[in-house]
A and B are shown apart, each in its own frame.
Chain A
Amino acid sequence: MTTLTLAHLYPREMNIYGDTGNVLVLRKRLQWRGLDADVIGVQVGDPLPADTDILLGGGGQDAAQGDIGQDFVSRGPELRAMADDGVVMLTICGSYQLLGHHFLTKDGRKIEGVGVLDVATTGSDQRLIGNNHIDTAWGRLVGFENHSGLTELGPGAQPLGRTVPGRGNNGQDQTEGAVRGNVFGTYLHGPVLAKSPQFADELLRRAFQRRGLSAELEPLDDSLALTAADVAIRRPR
Chain B
Amino acid sequence: MDILAIWLGKLTLLALRALGRRGTALPGLVVEKVFPRFLARRLATLPLGVVVISGTNGKTTTTKMVATVLGQRHRVLTNDTGGNFVRGVLTSVVQQSSWLGRTPADVAVLELDEAHAVRFCQVHQPERLLLLNVLRDQLDRFGEIDTTAGLLAKVAARTTRHVVVNRDDPRLVALAAGLAAEVSYFGVAPALRAQFPTDEEMYGGEVELSELKAAVELLALELGVSTELTLRIGDTEEAITLQAEGAHNAQNAAGAAALALTFGLDAGAIAAGLRMVQPAFGRGQAFELAGRRVVLQLVKNPAGFRQSLRTVTGLRPAATVIAINDDYADGRDMSWLWDVEFASVLTGNSGRLMTSGTRAADMAVRLHYDGLAVEQVEVDLGRAVQQAAAAVAPGDTVVVFSTYTAMWQLHQVLAKLSGVALR
Interchain Cβ contacts under 8 Å between A and B, 15 examples: A12-B205, A15-B339, A16-B145, A18-B334, A21-B338, A21-B369, A144-B333, A146-B140, A190-B335, A194-B366, A194-B369, A224-B377, A228-B365, A235-B358, A237-B332
With beta carbons under 8 angstroms apart, the residue of B143, B145, B335, B364 that contacts A18 is B335
CA distance in complex: A144, B144 (Å): 14
- Residues in A with CB closer than 8 Å to B377 are 224, 227
Chain A nearest CB from B325 CB (Å) reads 10
Residues of B within 8 A of A62 (CB): 144, 146
Interface string of A138-153 (1 = CB under 8 A from B): 0000001010100000
A43: chain B residues at CB < 8 Å are 204
Cβ contacts B198-212/A at 8 Å (1 or 0 each): 011111110000000
- The answer on a CB contact under 8 Å between B364 and A228 is yes
Q: With A and B bound together, what is the CA distance between A231 and B423 in angstroms?
A: 36
In the complex with contacts A13-B200, A146-B333, A228-B362 CB distance below 8 A: yes
Report whether B140 and A130 are in contact in the complex, using a CB–CB cutoff of 8 Å. Answer: yes
Alpha-carbon distance A16/B369, docked complex (angstroms): 19
A174 shortest CB reach to chain B, Å? 21
Given A146-B140, A228-B364, A231-B358, residue A24 in contact with residue B332 (CB < 8 A): no
- Asked whether, in the complex, the Cβ of B143 is within 8 Å of the Cβ of A130, the reply is no
When distances are taken between beta carbons in the complex, the residues of chain A under 8 Å from B336 are 18
A126 CB, nearest partner CB in chain B, Å: 10
B361 CB within 8 Å of chain A: yes
Given A15-B203, A20-B338, A190-B334 in contact, is the A28-B369 Cβ separation under 8 Å?
A: yes
Cα of A13 to Cα of B203 in the assembled complex, Å: 9
Q: Which residue of A lies closest to B368 (CB)?
A: A224
Q: How far is the CA of A70 from the CA of B200 in the complex (A)?
A: 19
Q: Which residues of A have CB within 8 Å of B205?
A: 12
Bound complex: CA A66 to CA B204 (Å): 18
| A129-B335 in contact (CB<8A) | no
B292 within 8 A of A: no
Once the chains bind, are A224 and B339 in contact (CB under 8 Å)?
A: no
Question: Does any Cβ of B come within 8 Å of A189's Cβ?
Answer: yes
Given contacts A18-B335, A228-B365, contact A127 B203 (CB under 8 A): no
Using a CB-CB cutoff of 8 Å, which residues 119-150 of chain B contact chain A? Answer: 136, 139-140, 143-146
Residue of A nearest to B199 (CB): A16
Contacts of A61 in B (CB 8 A): 144-146
A residues apposed to B, CB below 8 Å: 11-13, 15-21, 24-25, 28, 41, 43, 61-63, 127, 129-131, 144, 146, 148, 189-191, 194-195, 224-225, 227-228, 231-232, 235-237
How far is A231 from B204 in the complex, measured between Cα atoms in Å? 33
- A16 to B204, alpha carbons, bound, how many Å? 12
Minimum CB–CB distance for B186 against chain A, Å: 25
* Chain A residues within 8 Å of B358, by CB: 231, 235
Interface residues, chain B, with chain A CB atoms under 8 Å away:
136, 139-140, 143-146, 199-205, 326, 332-339, 358-359, 361-362, 364-366, 368-371, 377
How many residue pairs link A and B with beta carbons under 8 A? The number is 104
In the complex formed, the residue of B with least CB distance to A144 is: B333
A222 to B139 Cα, complex, angstroms? 28
Q: Nearest Cβ in chain B — how far from A33, in angstroms?
A: 14
CA distance A118 to B262 in the complex (A): 57
Residues on B with C-beta less than 8 A from A15 are 202-203, 339
Q: Once the chains are docked, how many angstroms separate the CA of A146 from the CA of B205?
A: 26
A224–B146 alpha-carbon span in the complex (Å): 34
User: Residue among A127, A148, A228 with the most chain B CB within 10 A?
Assistant: A228
Q: Is the interface of A mostly helix, strand, loop or mixed?
A: mixed
- Interchain CA distance A127-B337 in the complex, whole Å: 22
Determine the chain B residues whose CB is within 8 A of the CB of A190 once the complex forms: 334-335, 338
**B200 engages A146 (CB within 8 Å):** no
B140 pairs with A129, CB closer than 8 A: yes
Chain A CB within 10 Å, residue with most, of B140, B203, B358, B364: B203
Q: Could you tell me if B338 and A231 are in contact, using CB atoms closer than 8 angstroms?
A: no
| In the complex, chain B residues whose CB is within 8 Å of the CB of A12 | 200-201, 203-205
Contact A224 B365 (CB under 8 A): yes
Provide the residues of chain B in CB contact with A144, threshold 8 Å: 140, 332-335
Given that A15-B203, A25-B369, A63-B146 are known contacts, is A231 also in contact with B361, CB under 8 Å in the complex? Answer: yes
Q: In the bound complex, how far is the Cα of B369 from the Cα of A225, in angstroms?
A: 10
Residues from chain B with a CB closer than 8 A to the CB of A194 are: 338, 365-366, 369
Cα-based distance from A148 to B147 in the complex (angstroms): 12
Q: Are A17 and B203 in contact (CB under 8 A)?
A: no
Query: With the chains together, A144 CA to B205 CA distance in Å?
Result: 27
B369 proximity list for chain A (CB < 8 A): 21, 24-25, 28, 194
**A146 and B364 contacting across the interface, CB-CB below 8 Å:** no
- Report, nearest first, the 5 A-B pairs whose CB atoms are least far apart: A12-B204, A18-B335, A21-B338, A18-B338, A11-B203
The answer to whether A18 and B359 touch across the interface, beta carbons within 8 angstroms, is no
A190 to B145 Cα, complex, angstroms: 17
Chain B, Cβ-Cβ closest to A21: B338
Instruction: Evaluate contact between B332 and A17: CB separation under 8 angstroms.
Output: no
Residues on B with beta carbons closer than 8 Å to the beta carbon of A195: 362, 365
Of A129, A148, A225, A236, the residue contacting B365 (CB under 8 A) is: A225
A17 touching B361, Cβ below 8 Å: no
The verdict on A17 contacting B335 (CB below 8 Å), with A28-B369, A194-B369, A224-B361 known, is yes
State the Cβ distance, B37 to closest chain A Cβ, in Å: 32
Tell me the bound Cα distance from A228 to B146 in angstroms.
30
Closest Cβ of chain B: how far from A29's Cβ, in Å?
Answer: 9
Contact present for A228 and B140 (CB under 8 Å): no
With A18-B334, A190-B335, A190-B338 already in contact, 17 other A-B pairs whose C-beta atoms are closer than 8 Å: A15-B203, A16-B136, A17-B333, A18-B338, A18-B339, A43-B204, A63-B146, A144-B140, A144-B335, A148-B143, A191-B335, A194-B338, A194-B365, A195-B362, A227-B361, A228-B359, A231-B361
The answer for the CA separation of A28 and B365 in the assembled complex, in Å, is 12
Given contacts A24-B338, A148-B143, contact A130 B200 (CB under 8 A): no
